[in-house]
Structure 1
Amino acid sequence: MSTAGKRIVFFGTPEPAAQCLAHLIACGHDIVGVISQPDRPVGRHQVVLPTPVKVVAQAAGIPVMQPGNCGEEACLEQVRAWSPFVCVVVAYGQILTSELLNTPECFINLHFSLLPAYRGAAPVQHALMDGCAETGITVQHVVRKLDMGDIILQQPVAIDDEDDATSLLAKCVAAGAPVLSDAIDLLAEGTAPRVPQGAAGVSHARKMRKEDGIIDWHAPARVIFNQIRACVPWPGAVTWLHGQPVKMWRSREYFPSHDLCGHHDENVAAVGHAPGEALPSRRNLLVTAGAGVLEVLELQPAGKHRMTGAAFLAGHGGGEIRFAKPDAASREDN
Structure 2
Amino acid sequence: MVLRQAANLVFVLSFATGSAFAHQAANQVDDDAVGSESLPPCCTPAESPLAVRIAAGAVSSGPEQADPPSDPAVMTLLDAIDAQSASLEDFSSRVRMDSYDDLADETEKRFGRVYLVMPPPAETDSEKTQHRRAAIVFERSIEPSGRARERLEHFVLVDGVLSDYDHEAKRLVRRRVVDPDARRDPLRLGEGPIPLPIGQRKEDILKYFDVTTAPPIPPRVLKDAEGVVGLHLVPRPGTEMADARKIIGIDLWVRKGTHLPVAVEIHERDGDRTSVRFFDPSINAGVDEEGRRWLNAPDVDPKAWRIESK
Greater relative contact order structure (CA < 8 Å, 6+ sep) = 2
- What is the TM-score with the length of structure 2 in the denominator? 0.25
Larger Rg: 1
